[in-house]
């Protein structure tokens, strides 16, 4: 079995409930390697791209509010890339089923997730569910230089007149 990469997002409820350390400890049981990690703010554009397959679902407006932090008053999430053998399956097993009421009670979603009165599954983490999805998501959430390994082909781009913010 070849090595795989998978994207994990600790969603706004995970950060708000101070579950970050706990979730990282649970994920370390997989013995997978972390090859990228950052905290970032999610805007509507990123949310729409990430959940493009769900845009016609009745719960999508609530889901967009959830991932962009509108439901929790804080739009930070933590994004991580895990790498190793059967990474997708191993991380999904620790995450648990999408519906927190159906998820194994010892999984992250089973232990800490809940169903909101709106019906939305507030389930603490995202985990990629196939190699194709993982590649699409990792390319969306991370720049090549933010990952300590060459995962996918890259190209150089010459940019003139670009202004970027640096430390003073
Ligand atoms: P996944 O996160 O387990 O891969 P997806 O089908 O990709 O599940 O859905 C993305 C997110 O949308 C879920 O994690 C959950 O927060 C929410 N969601 C998915 N299906 C439902 C549903 O039937 N009702 C309410 N929320 C849902
Ligand atoms: Mg999914």
pLDDT score of 19: 98
pTM here is: 0.96
- pLDDT tens, 69-123? 999 999 999 999 999 999 999 999 999 999 999 999 999 999 999 999 999 999 9
Residue nearest atom 15 of ligand 1, based on CA coordinates: 121
Domains annotated on the chain, with CATH: 3-146 (3.30.70.141)
- Alpha carbon nearest to ligand 1 atom 24, residue: 120
Q: Which is it for strands 121-122 and 33-41: parallel, antiparallel or unpaired?
A: unpaired
> From CA 80, how far away is CA 27, in angstroms rounded?
11
- CB of 126 within 6 A of ligand 1: the answer is yes
Please give the positions annotated as active site: 126
Which tens digit of pLDDT belongs to each residue from 95-105? 999 999 999 99
Q: State how far the Cα of 109 lies from the Cα of 100, in Å rounded to an integer.
A: 5
Check residue 106 and report its DSSP letter.
T
Distance 72 CA to ligand 2 centre (A): 21
**Quick one: tokens of 70?**
């509108």
For residue 140, what pLDDT band results from cuts at 50, 70 and 90?
Answer: very high
**The pLDDT value given to residue 148:** 98
């Amino acid at each position: 079995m070849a090595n795989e990469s998978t994207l994990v997002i600790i969603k706004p409820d995970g950060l708000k409930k101070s579950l970050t350390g706990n979730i990282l400890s649970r994920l370390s049981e997989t013995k997978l390697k972390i090859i990228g990690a950052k905290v970032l703010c999610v805007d509507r554009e990123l949310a729409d791209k990430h959940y493009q397959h769900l845009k016609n679902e009745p719960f999508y407006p609530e889901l967009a509010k959830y991932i962009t932090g509108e439901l929790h008053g804080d739009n930070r999430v933590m994004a991580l890339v895990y790498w190793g053998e059967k990474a997708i399956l191993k991380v999904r097993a620790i995450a648990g089923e999408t519906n927190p009421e159906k998820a194994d009670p010892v999984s992250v979603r089973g232990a800490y997730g809940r169903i909101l009165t709106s019906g939305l599954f507030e389930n603490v983490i995202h985990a990629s569910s196939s190699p194709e999805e993982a590649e699409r998501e990792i390319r969306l959430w991370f720049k090549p230089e933010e990952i300590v390994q060459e995962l996918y082909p890259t190209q150089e781009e010459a940019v003139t007149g670009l202004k970027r913010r640096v430390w003073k």
